[in-house]
């Protein structure tokens, strides 16, 4: 089950706010008239204590930064399963919480940005991928090589390594450094898997074409289409914690790592 934490937090603020307001206007005066003054009911005590904390958390995660956990290996080697990241919520403009309507425009996502967005087939799920194509771009992906606006994107082979493969465990992959029109980042390709080829995709206005860096183990725009601008949550900034499971524990070398 996927919980909408933003909506739950909003409801918690409304409920605790209403209880606090009713107490201030009605119940507190009634208690003060009694001698000795009776203790504050526990539900009112909790509501008044948690209301300001909930408001601060809600404002921070709605307009500044929101934490996310990486649940899969689709962006390896850039982001590992178990990474906890901070997402910049204001870089692409300010949106109203819950309604997600943009009220302040800033800059638009650029090629190479790693973004969090609400998955177009089911917006109750958040996905994270790399922007490959912006509006107007012509994209081709043939034999595991990317072409953007007629320019073949260079790939420099680095090494053979292993990566998590959903349903299999681990697979041997090739690691490359890709230069996405000036944005250097690493990718994985799996020589044992066929290429998901696309020819001459044109990115529509207000849409973005995204892919995972783990190219052969990523459900992305090649499979379910473009990301509408209104679905974008924010830009991935840094890893603030990384948990490698019981076997590896906390990956201290990844804490504070900027996401490129």
User: How many other C-beta atoms are found inside a 10 Å radius of the C-beta of residue 193?
Assistant: 14
Catalytic, out of 16, 20, 129, 218? 129
Point out the catalytic residue in the list 74, 218, 221, 242.
74
Beta bridge mates, 28: none
Respond yes or no: is residue 35 known to be catalytic.
no
Whether residue 74 lies in the annotated active site:
yes
Which pair of structure tokens corresponds to residue 16?
């605790």
Unique residue bearing structure tokens 């000036």: 182
Among 238, 192, 188, residue whose Cα is nearest residue 84: 238
Q: Is 123 helix (H, G, I), strand (E, B) or coil?
A: coil
Confirm if 98 and 10 have CB atoms less than 8 A apart: yes
Which residues are annotated as catalytic?
A: 74, 129
């Amino acid at each position: 089950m996927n919980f909408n934490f933003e909506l739950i937090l909003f409801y918690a603020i409304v409920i605790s706010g209403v209880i606090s307001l009713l107490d201030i206007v009605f119940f507190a005066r009634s208690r003060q008239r009694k001698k000795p003054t009776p203790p504050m009911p526990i539900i009112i005590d909790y509501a008044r204590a948690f209301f300001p904390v909930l408001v601060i958390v809600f404002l921070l995660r709605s307009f500044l930064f929101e934490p996310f956990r990486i649940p899969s290996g689709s962006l390896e080697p850039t982001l590992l399963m178990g990474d906890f990241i901070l997402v910049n919520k204001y870089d692409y403009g300010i949106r109203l919480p819950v309604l997600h309507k943009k009220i302040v425009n800033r800059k638009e996502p650029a090629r190479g940005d790693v973004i969090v967005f609400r998955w177009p087939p089911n917006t109750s799920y958040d996905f994270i991928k790399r922007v490959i194509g912006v509006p107007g771009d012509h994209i081709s992906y043939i034999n595991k090589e990317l072409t953007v606006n007629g320019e073949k994107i260079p790939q420099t082979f680095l090494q053979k390594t292993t990566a998590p493969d959903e349903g299999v465990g681990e697979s041997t992959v090739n690691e490359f450094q890709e230069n996405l029109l000036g944005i250097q980042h690493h990718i994985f390709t799996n020589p044992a898997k066929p290429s998901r080829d696309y020819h001459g995709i044109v990115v529509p206005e207000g849409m973005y074409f995204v892919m995972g860096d783990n190219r052969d183990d990523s459900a992305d725009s090649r499979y379910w289409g473009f990301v509408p601008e209104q679905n974008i949550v924010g830009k991935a900034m840094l890893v603030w914690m990384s948990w490698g499971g019981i076997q590896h524990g906390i990956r201290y070398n990844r804490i504070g790592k900027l996401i490129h």
